[in-house]
Amino acid sequence: MPEPKKILGLIGRNVGYSWSPLIHNTAFSALGLSYYYTIFDIAEPGLIGDALKGCRALGLSGFNVTIPYKKTVVPFLDELAPEAQAVQAVNTIVHQNGKLTGHNTDIEGFAAPLLPFAERIAGTPVCIFGSGGAAMAAIEAFRLFFRPAGIMLFVREPEKAGAILSGYEHRGIVTTGTLNDIETAEGSRLFRECSVVVNATPVGTGCRHRHSADSIVPLDRDLMHHGQIVYDMVYNPIDTPLLGAAEQAGAKTISGIEMLIGQAARSFQIWTGRTMPVETVRNVLLQEIRSVS
C-alpha cells in the first residue's frame, strides 16, 4: 500500500494566483517525495487560530504563510526559530508531534539575488517601501548580509512604521518616513542616494501596465537611475510596473520571482531535509508563467 502523502500548504488571503503549489509539487515529484502542497485561502485574521488548530488536529505537516498573516500567526505558534523571533514574522511553519514552529525563510530568500552586489551595497543607504512582514524580512536581511549605512523605511501612515518596528532589537538602523517625504527636496535626495530600492508591498500584483496601479513606489518621478538596484518582491507578473519604470531609468532590476524561489527552497529543506532541485523548478515555473502571459 502506498505511503500516505504529507500535506503542506499556503496560508494567505486571496492567494489563488500563487505559484507556490507548482514550485513545491514540481520539486516533490522530481525527488519522488510523498508530499502534496495546496492553498488554504483564509478570509479574515480571526480565523487564523482555528486554522492552526486544524493543522494539529488533521496532522498536516506545515504551511507557508503570506500576506497579510505573517505576523498574525506568531501568537498561535509554540516556538519561533531565531530569525523569525528577530522580526516577529513567520512565512514557514513546521508541525511535528503537535508542536508548531515558525521560521522565516524570506530573509535568506530576499538576500540570495542581492549577494553578488554585497560589496556595492555595503556602506551605502538603502530604502524599503512597506509595513508588513516582508518589509521586516528585508530589513533583517540587509542587516545580516549587507551592512548598509542605513535603511530608510517608507510607509503610507507614520503609525505603521512604529507598529512594524515594535520590539525589533535593531530598530536604530532604520529611519522611517512617508510618501510625502519623498516630495521634499531632502527626501528626493535621500531616495536617489539609496543603492537599493525595495518594494515590499503587494502593490503591482496582477498589474501589467505602468499606470495600472496606485503604486506606493514613485514610478513617474526622475528619482531612479542607473546606479541603483530596484527589487520588487511582487512576482505576479514578473515584469511589474515598478520594474518597467526602473529599466527605463537604467537601473538594475530584480524580480520577485528570485525571492519566491529562494525562500521556497529554504522552506522545502526545512520540511523535507532535502535540497530543492532549483533549476528544474525554475524551468517549469518560467514555462508555466510564459504560457499564461
Confirm whether 6-104+258-292 and 108-254 share one CATH topology.
Answer: yes
Calculate ∠ Cα 39-259-266, nearest 5°. Answer: 70
Kindly tell me the burial class for residue 82, based on how many C-beta atoms sit within 10 Å of its own C-beta (0-12, 13-18, 19 or more): exposed
**DSSP calls for 45-85:** GGGHHHHHHHHHHHT--EEEE-TT-TTTTGGG-SEE-HHHH
- To the question of pTM greater than 0.75 for the whole model, the response is yes
108-254 is classed in which CATH architecture? Answer: 3-Layer(aba) Sandwich (3.40)
Q: For residue 221, which amino acid is it?
A: R
User: Whole-angstrom Cα distance, residue 197 to residue 229?
Assistant: 6
93-141 residue pLDDT tens: 999 999 999 999 999 999 999 999 999 999 999 999 988 888 999 999 9
Q: Tell me which CATH code domain 6-104+258-292 carries.
A: 3.40.50.10860
The pLDDT of residue 209 is: 40
Q: State the catalytic residue, choosing from 5, 6, 53, 70.
A: 70
Sequence spans of domains, the chain: 6-104+258-292, 108-254
**In sequence order, which residues have a C-beta less than 8 Å from that of residue 213 and are 6 or more positions away?**
203, 204, 207, 241
Active site residue 70: yes
Sheet strand arrangement including 125-129:
174-178, 150-155, 125-129, 196-199, 229-232, 252-254
- pLDDT (tens, 9 = 90+) of the chain, 293 residues, equals 567 899 999 999 988 888 999 999 999 999 999 999 999 999 999 999 999 999 999 999 999 999 889 989 999 999 999 999 999 989 999 999 999 999 999 999 999 999 999 999 999 999 999 888 889 999 999 999 999 999 999 988 878 778 888 888 999 999 998 888 888 888 888 889 999 999 998 765 555 444 333 455 666 567 889 999 999 998 878 888 889 989 999 999 999 999 999 999 999 999 999 999 999 999 999 999 888 76
227-243 residue pLDDT tens: 999 999 988 788 888 89
Supply the DSSP symbol for 253: E
The pLDDT of residue 219 is: 61
